Copies of this chain bind each other. A is one copy, B any other.
Amino acid sequence: MHPQIHGVLETCIYVADLERAKQFYRDILGIQVHSELEGRHVFFKIGSSMLMAFIADESRRGKTLPPHGADGDIHLALKINKEDLDAWKEYLTKHDIDIESEYAWGDRGVSLYFRDPDGNLVELVNPEIWGL
């Protein structure tokens, strides 16, 4: 029998400045910091999974755990309730976050796209767009 995978547990981004990443993900988006290691990473807990922000120059060293790291603008989507769309638009605008794109997936939902301070493409969207 094939053993099973049940979900994505950890999603990673790579950032240049951990304090700046915390100011964005924790202070603006309201995501809980789980743990951090100065100069290397900050881990955020979101629902039943983890969002991890690494300094790529450090995670590429791979001491205890294998090396990893990427350059560029990674995309990630965060789950919101469909009825919170307008509240999020208002909230982001109030916090000077430029909404780069707003895209409607038929009548299933709407995505808001904006950038984190490192240029990663963050999306807020309701899970119904995927039938989830």
Interface residues of A (CB under 8 A from B): 1-12, 14, 29-31, 34, 45-52, 54, 56, 59, 64-81, 84, 87-88, 91, 100-101, 103, 111, 113, 120-121, 123-125, 127, 130, 132
A12-B76, A76-B10, A130-B45 in contact; A100/B4 too (CB < 8 A)? no
B6 in contact with A65 (CB, 8 Å): no
> Which residues of chain B are within 8 angstroms of A8 by Cβ–Cβ distance?
8, 11, 46-47, 49, 51, 76-79
Query: How many identical subunits does the complex contain?
Result: 2
Bound form: Cα–Cα A51–B77 in Å: 10
18 additional contacts (CB under 8 A) given A5-B79, A6-B81: A2-B30, A3-B87, A3-B88, A3-B91, A7-B79, A9-B77, A9-B125, A10-B76, A11-B11, A48-B127, A49-B49, A50-B77, A65-B111, A65-B113, A67-B121, A69-B73, A70-B72, A70-B74
